[in-house]
Amino acid sequence: MADKTPTTRPTSHSVAAFLKQAAQVPARASGTNGRLIFAMDATASRGPTWTQAMGIQTEMFQEAASVGGLDVQLVYYRGLMDFGASPWLNNADRIIGLMRGVDVVGGNTQIERLLNHASAEAKRGKVNALVFIGDAVEESADLILAAAGTLALRGVPVFIFHEGGLEPAGTVFRQIAQITKGAYSSFDASSPQQLRDLLKAVAIFAAGGRKALADFSKKAGGIALRLSHQMAGDKKP
């Protein structure tokens, strides 16, 4: 089995790619709640950084709640075909409570199942984005990419945050993001602020559209501000 221990390699290239790809995601229609599927790989390989990730994700939902207009469905996989999906919720405390109730359990990835689930949800009603945090791929890449193609037809961009950035998972994750017109970024245990800012920016974009993202990025600065400039078509670095 491949070593999935997070690395500390530089992430500037993947961040630049994330920003460039995110700029191509169309703004959602005004006057409607954004709907975001937030999916977690809860298999045992993520155990060493699980607590840190929980803290960052909690801040993401709290920040998005300050904007309002965001419905979230929490999805996870772990163990022996254990796959869970919450109802659609717009209460940050309930979402955080459910998320914190998920513990890591050894098992294989279920990324194809996740993408198919998102497609089914998008068939029932508009889904503005799928955020996925994971570290590995243990399935057929062909089947995963076929599922990504179906999701792309539903108009759902996938924002992938890849813990560790290891191959061959990185290649598959980047292809998912490309197919769905989403974005990919790798992160590791040494870059929590980067993950924190990007997650908040995506959630706020789904909740309030481009104006909400611009307002947040002015306050947050850093990589969130760069994301806002990219999505506004600003060519300045």
Q: Where are the domains of the chain?
A: 33-231
pLDDT for residue 176 = 95
Among 115-129, 140-154, 160-174, 221-235, the range scoring the smallest mean pLDDT is 221-235
pLDDT tens readout for residues 44-76? 888 777 777 777 777 777 766 666 668 888 898
pLDDT for residue 221 = 63
Asked whether the predicted pLDDT for residue 179 surpasses 90, the reply is yes
pLDDT for residue 68 = 66
pLDDT tens readout for residues 194-227? 777 777 777 777 777 667 777 777 776 665 665 5
Asked whether the predicted pLDDT for residue 144 surpasses 80, the reply is yes
Asked whether the predicted pLDDT for residue 169 surpasses 90, the reply is yes
Architecture in CATH for domain 33-231 = 3-Layer(aba) Sandwich (3.40)
Q: How far apart (Å, rounded) are the C-alpha atoms in residues 34 and 135?
A: 27
For 37, the enclosing helix (H) or strand (E) is strand 34-41
88 secondary structure, DSSP code: P
Q: Can you give the pTM of this predicted structure?
A: 0.76
228: which residues sit within 8 A by CB, 6+ positions away? 201, 210, 213, 214, 216, 217, 218
pLDDT tens readout for residues 76-105? 899 888 898 888 887 777 888 888 888 888
Report the 10 Å Cβ neighbour count for 33: 16
**Between 30 and 219, residue with greater pLDDT:** 219
pLDDT band at 235 (very low <50, low <70, confident <90, very high): very low
**Between 4 and 165, residue with greater pLDDT:** 165
